[in-house]
């Protein structure tokens, strides 16, 4: 499921941009393709619908997953047989439809993972998901571009559709979640009840603020990372490609697995606190790199440490988000909570640019270090509540 979720993202992002560039489409049209990310940011708007509708043949969660995969296969094949030179606008609309199916699949997969995993399995379950998601991103990103160079874009996109088809096989045989009837006969009331259930929790404002702030320092540190390494320190594209892309890939996966394994033994509060502290100090390591300057080995070590600690905290954080969801409303609640968690990643770009322009790179990474601690202070006061949600699920 993680592989199936991760595959379409690049196919409507970097890989599609490469296809349009290869066809010599103008830069303005290519720039508009960035809007294809909108369904991923707005998916919480229709997520409650997936708590309301149940498919009789595969159940609520698996039924939605397979339905969205069928939609992905059809639209990817449709896109594969189009020509950007004469159908660029139409391809943009088809790509938007792919992004919608992909974001909707993500909603269903997140809900399924939350429903099916016991509380002590969620950290490791999140690690498996991150691992497969990252592998898929490599396949639909770097591998797809290499493939297109040899066999063309049509066969490449057809191959991606085939991979989605293959993922349907294990999903079909995956265990079924508990069948629950909608709490209301109308979608509107289901959505309202989902929000009411979430907002009536004790200390809900602090819980939501904690979710927003927990990865905020990390998001600020990573927001201009490529620019920092290329222009701030003067590394070459090859050096950045090897260290940043390759090392970060393996470090994040390793961190997620270590975090998932530790979560089997540790309670969620301890993991969130210790991994959050590790995440904060890993951001500080970039300030040290900014002081030292261009040093390839130190850059590699710094990137490994930051991404490893980010993987640790991600495993704990996803497990925590799962613990907050009521099984009756998993799709809507998880989509909303994950949207709040992505706040920093979406909106911190302009802020980080201002910090660098006015204070420099060291100031940016010192700020990211300090920005990691408000959530940990909130966590101290939320200890009993965090533990109670973990025990309840």
Domain 2-181 is found in CATH 3.30.565.10? no
d(CA 208, CA 148): 43
Give the residue among 329, 51, 323 at the shortest CA–CA distance from 207: 323
Nearest-10 crossing angle of helices 204-214, 296-323: 160
> Residue 351: its pLDDT value, please?
81
Q: What length is written for the chain?
A: 393
> Residue 87: its pLDDT value, please?
92
d(CA 312, CA 29): 39
> Residue 290: its pLDDT value, please?
93
What's the pTM value of the predicted model, to 2 decimals?
0.80
d(CA 168, CA 391): 33
- Our measurement of the distance from residue 280's CA atom to the centroid of its chain's CA atoms, rounded to an integer in Å, reads 20
CATH number for the segment(s) 189-392:
1.20.1250.20
CB 93 within 8 A of CB 230: no
> Residue 97: its pLDDT value, please?
96
d(CA 229, CA 235): 6
Q: What b/e sequence results for 262-271 when a residue is b if at least 16 CB atoms lie within 10 Å of its CB, and e otherwise?
A: bbeebebbbb
d(CA 260, CA 277): 17
Percentage of residues in the chain with pLDDT exceeding 70? 95
For the chain, state the CA radius of gyration: 21
Tokens, residue 160: 């991606």
- Our measurement of the distance from residue 148's CA atom to the centroid of its chain's CA atoms, rounded to an integer in Å, reads 26
CB 128 within 8 A of CB 4: no
Tokens, residue 175: 């265990």
Give the residue among 277, 260, 265 at the shortest CA–CA distance from 316: 260
Measured CA angle at 156 (ends 151, 158), to 5 deg:
125
CB 99 within 8 A of CB 39: yes
- Rounded to the nearest 5 percent, the helix, strand and coil shares of the chain are 85, 0, 15
- 3-class SS of residue 254: helix
> Would you list the domain boundaries of the chain?
2-181, 189-392
> Residue 379: its pLDDT value, please?
95
Domains 2-181 and 189-392 share a fold: yes
CB 18 within 8 A of CB 84: no
Phi-psi region of 118 (alpha: psi -120 to 50; beta: other; left: phi over 0): beta
> Residue 312: its pLDDT value, please?
92
Give pLDDT tens digits along the chain (393 positions).
999 999 998 899 888 888 888 888 887 787 777 788 888 888 888 888 888 888 877 888 899 999 999 999 999 999 999 999 889 999 999 999 999 999 999 999 999 998 898 888 888 888 889 889 989 988 998 788 888 889 999 999 999 999 999 999 999 899 988 766 555 566 677 778 888 888 888 888 999 999 999 999 988 888 788 778 888 898 887 887 777 778 888 898 899 899 989 988 889 999 999 999 999 999 999 999 999 999 999 999 999 999 899 999 988 999 899 888 888 888 889 888 988 887 766 677 678 888 888 899 999 999 999 999 999 999 999 999 888 877 665
d(CA 7, CA 18): 16
């Amino acid at each position: 499921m993680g592989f199936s979720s991760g595959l379409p993202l690049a196919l409507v992002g970097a890989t599609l941009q490469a296809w349009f560039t290869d066809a010599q489409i103008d830069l303005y049209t290519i720039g508009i393709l960035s809007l294809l990310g909108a369904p991923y940011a707005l998916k919480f708007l229709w997520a409650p619908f997936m708590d309301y509708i149940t498919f009789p043949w595969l159940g609520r969660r698996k039924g939605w997953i397979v339905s969205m995969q069928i939609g992905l296969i059809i639209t990817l094949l449709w896109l594969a047989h189009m020509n950007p030179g004469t159908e660029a606008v139409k391809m943009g609309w088809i790509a938007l439809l792919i992004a919608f199916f992909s974001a909707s699949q993500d909603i269903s997969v997140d809900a399924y993972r939350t429903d099916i995993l016991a509380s002590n399995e969620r950290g490791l379950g999140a690690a498996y998901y991150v691992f497969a998601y990252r592998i898929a991103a490599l396949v639909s990103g770097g591998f797809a571009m290499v493939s297109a160079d040899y066999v063309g874009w049509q066969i490449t996109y057809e191959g991606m559709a085939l991979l989605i088809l293959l993922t349907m096989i294990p999903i079909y045989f995956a265990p079924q979640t508990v069948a629950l009837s909608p709490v209301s006969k109308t979608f509107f009331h289901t959505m309202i009840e989902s929000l009411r259930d979430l907002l009536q929790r004790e200390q809900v404002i602090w819980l939501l603020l904690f979710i927003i702030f927990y990865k905020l320092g990390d998001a600020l540190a990573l927001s201009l990372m490529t620019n920092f390494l290329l222009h701030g320190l003067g590394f070459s594209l090859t050096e950045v490609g090897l260290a940043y892309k390759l090392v970060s890939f393996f470090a994040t996966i390793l961190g997620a697995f270590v975090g998932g394994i530790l979560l089997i033994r540790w309670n969620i509060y301890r993991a969130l606190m210790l991994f959050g502290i590790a995440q904060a100090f890993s951001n500080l390591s970039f300030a040290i790199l900014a002081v030292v300057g261009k040093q390839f080995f130190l850059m590699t070590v710094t990137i490994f440490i930051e991404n490893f600690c980010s993987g640790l905290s991600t495993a704990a954080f996803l497990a925590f988000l799962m613990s907050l969801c009521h099984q009756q409303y998993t799709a809507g609640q998880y989509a909303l909570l994950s949207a709040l968690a992505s706040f920093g990643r979406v909106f911190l770009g302009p802020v980080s640019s201002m910090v660098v322009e006015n204070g420099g790179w060291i100031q940016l990474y010192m700020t990211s270090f300090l920005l990691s601690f408000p959530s940990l202070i909130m966590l101290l006061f939320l200890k009993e509540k965090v533990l109670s949600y973990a025990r309840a699920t």
